[in-house]
Amino acid sequence: MQHFLNYINGEWRAAADGATFINRNPADRSDHIGSFPQSGSADVEAAVSAAKSAERAWKLLPAPARGDILRRAGDIFARRKTELAAIMTREMGKPVFETSGDIQEAIDTCYYSATEGRRLFGYNAPSELPNKMNLSFRMPVGICGIITAWNFPIAVPSWKIIPALVCGNTVIFKPSEESPHSANIFAEILHEAGLPAGVFNVVHGDGKAGSAMVDHPAIKLIGFTGSTETGTHIASLCGKANKKCSLEMGGKNAQIVMADADLELALEAVLWGAFGTAGQRCTATSRLILHRDIHDQFVAALKQKAAALRIGSGLSQETQMGPLINESQLAKVEKYVAIGKEEGARCVLGGERPSADELKAGCFFQPTIFCDVTPAMRIFQEEIFGPVLAVTVIDSFEEAVAVLNNSSYGLSSSIFTADVNQAFAAIRDLEAGITYINGPTIGAEAHMPFGGIKGTGNGHREGGWTVFEIFTEWKAVYVDFSGKLQRAQIDNYDD
Ligand code: UN1
């Protein structure tokens, strides 16, 4: 078993107190990937001091030169894609074609952010006074603490870390304990790309390390992806400490299928949306809203296709659906299946672990479909983060929209329809940060705003240029070249 370390000040270091944890392959729990530092406040302190020493030189490096380093990082991610995809699959389970896509999102983000180094636009506006010029600039925020989940071990961290760096911030990254090896490769790649020591640091560990980051006064911003419960707690602490805080949290995303839709296409979409990544995406399709006229035929076809999905280790080329991340996620999914049954929903497929002997060593669960689900049920309302799809029947477009919007979350949404008027009404009326027309709820692209409303987020958007709003502070600049004192609001108005 390998012993992995934290990455602080451009060096690999053990936790100050030597504590470690072991990470295991979710497809085979006897496969120990390695030991990683179980960090605490002393390690966060060391990373803060490295970031502080690196801060000034990094922010004074011209943004296009910072972008050049990140473009090189994109090239190295591309060079190491196959090797890294296998490492990611071994530690978090999803099939290699999915982990390759995960890395591609990081490559896209590197190239996009690299070019942003040549923009980072501010704006100017006329002054209300003569011989005076008004400008505005984006300034770095300072040391950013990034805390992320395991389901996108490279893409989601890259959405935060890469834009943060091009903006001239320094970063301390605490990855999930379930995907720490990927985080070390992230560090290796930035190191090889030429990022100066201390600009980017990785501190492994659990909530203790995360709390030490949230509590540290020198860390000026927390970027978090994870559960709504943890994110809301972090936001309250950041609120008290006047820290900037951007949150990407849970989802309970729905796909609507109207009677006139291309049903084959809608079927392929829901299979991918609900069972891709074994349903462990914040954008996963966990609710399917079917028009009554096509309900029975659609469910019958979906059952057949979902039952045929090949479950197994993501390292096998054959596999279409990998395992859940760990035993506690497996227990959570089992708990929700029991809740669904108790609530009176009809489990028409799956509902248990697969019986095959070769799957016994991993945290596998069958694709599961519940019918007769009503909005009052917990399986309709609560995020499960597993391959469990709740199907609800509707009679009209208006009802479909109302049912989709009946959620405390608002990340992704989708409608399959051939009616152009309904499609545009859906774009306007679906309460979500992302809406797909004739596409599944998953598949966000790196250069578009990513995030949600209601319980999903706190008003920020990653991706595209919107992410640069998170990682910069505005500075307004007034240049008075009149040679005299000009008092705004006073000297230009005679009362
Ligand atoms: C996530 O689940 O946290 O749109 C991110 C998608 C991916 C990103 C998902 N591109 O499903």
- Nearest-angstrom CA–CA distance, 161 and 295: 44
Q: Above pLDDT 90, what percent of the chain?
A: 99
The 10s digit of each residue's pLDDT in 338-363 is 999 999 999 999 999 999 999 999 99
In the numeric block, the tokens 């600039």 are attached to 137
- Those residues with Cβ within 8 angstroms of residue 82's Cβ, 6 or more apart along the chain or in another chain: 100
Q: Three-class SS of residue 172?
A: strand
- The two beta strands, 285-291 and 388-394, are parallel
* Ligand 1 near 196 CB (within 6 A): no
Q: Are the beta carbons of 301 and 271 closer than 8 angstroms?
A: no
Class of the CATH domain delimited by 2-249+457-477: alpha beta
Burial class (CB in 10 A: 0-12, 13-18, 19+), 215: middle
- Among candidates 211, 227, 228, 208, which has minimal Cα distance to 219? 211
Q: Is 248 a catalytic residue?
A: yes
56-74 tens-digit pLDDT: 999 999 999 999 999 999 9
**Closest ligand 1 atom to the C-alpha of 281?**
2
Distances (CA, A) of 215 to 172, 177, 235, 254, 392: 13, 20, 11, 36, 43
How far is Cα 20 from Cα 422, in angstroms, rounded to an integer? 55
Q: Which atom of ligand 1 is nearest to 105's Cα? A: 10
* Ligand 1 atom at shortest distance from the alpha carbon of 101: 10
User: What is Dmax (Cα atoms) for the chain?
Assistant: 88
Whether the pLDDT of residue 418 is over 90: the answer is yes
Q: What is the mean pLDDT of residues 173-200?
A: 98
Location of structure tokens 């991706």: 463
C-alpha 64 – ligand 1 centre gap (Å): 28
Which atom of ligand 1 is nearest to 282's Cα? 2
In 148-192, which ranges are E strands? 170-174
**Beta-sheet strand order (sheet of 170-174):** 11-13, 6-8, 200-202, 170-174, 143-147, 219-225, 244-248
Q: Could you give phi then psi for residue 120, rounded to 5 degrees?
A: 35, 50
> Other C-beta atoms within 10 Å of 44: how many?
30
| Contact present, 258 and 292 (Cβ < 8 Å) | no
**What are the tens digits of pLDDT across the range 106-134?**
999 999 999 999 999 999 999 999 999 99
| Mean pLDDT score of the chain | 98
At 274 the three-state DSSP class reads helix
**Quick check: 316 pLDDT over 80?**
yes
CA 283 to ligand 1 center in whole angstroms: 6
pLDDT at 447: 96
* C-alpha to C-alpha distances, 191 to 8, 103, 128, 156, 494, nearest whole angstrom: 11, 17, 48, 19, 60
Token pair in block for residue 86: 């296998």
pLDDT (average), residues 458-482:
97
* pLDDT > 80? residue 173: yes
Spatial CA neighbour of 202 closest among 136, 153, 129: 153
Q: For atom 11 of ligand 1, which residue has the closest CA?
A: 442
The partner residues of 35 in beta bridges, in order of sequence, read: 3, 22
**CA 119/CA 188 separation, integer angstroms:** 27
What would the pLDDT profile of 372-414 be if each residue is shown by its tens digit?
999 999 999 999 999 999 999 999 999 999 999 999 999 999 9
Topology, domain 253-437: Aldehyde Dehydrogenase; Chain A, domain 2 (3.40.309)
- State the Cα–Cα distance between residues 487 and 237, nearest whole angstrom: 40
Neighbours of 363 (CB within 10 A): 26
> Sign of the C-alpha dihedral, residues 54, 180, 223, 439?
positive
Residue nearest to atom 8 of ligand 1 (CA): 444
CA–centroid distance, 68 to ligand 1, in Å, is 26
Residue 362 has which token pair? 């991993």
Q: What are phi and psi of 265, to 5 degrees?
A: -65, -45
476 forms bridges with which residues in the sheet? Answer: 136
Return the pLDDT at 494.
81
Cα–Cα distance measured from residue 437 to residue 429, given in angstroms and rounded to the nearest whole number: 13
At 459, which helix (H) or strand (E)?
none
pLDDT tens for each residue of 259-308: 999 999 999 999 999 999 999 999 999 999 999 999 999 999 999 999 99
Q: Is 444's C-beta closer than 6 angstroms to any atom of ligand 1? A: yes
Mutate to test the pocket of ligand 1, among 104, 228, 283 (most ligand atoms within 8 A of CB): 283
Q: Ligand 1, residue 284: give the atom nearest the CA.
A: 11
**Residue in 167, 238, 245, 282 annotated catalytic:** 282
Q: Domain extents for the chain?
A: 2-249+457-477, 253-437
For 119-123, which contacts have Cβ atoms below 8 Å and span 24 or more sequence positions? 119/465, 120/63, 120/166, 120/167, 120/468, 120/472, 122/474
Give the distance (Å) from ligand 1 centre to CA of residue 461.
13
Does the annotation count 371 as an active-site position? no
Q: pLDDT tens, 472-483?
A: 999 999 999 999
Over residues 74-100, the pLDDT tens digits come to 999 999 999 999 999 999 999 999 999
Give, for 305, the enclosing helix (H) or strand (E): helix 292-307
Distance 293 CA to ligand 1 centre (A): 31
Mutate to test the pocket of ligand 1, among 102, 109, 442 (most ligand atoms within 8 A of CB): 442
The span from the CA of 357 to the CA of 60, in Å, is 59
pLDDT at 495: 76
38 membership: H or E segment, kind and range: none
Residue listed under structure tokens 């708990």: 335
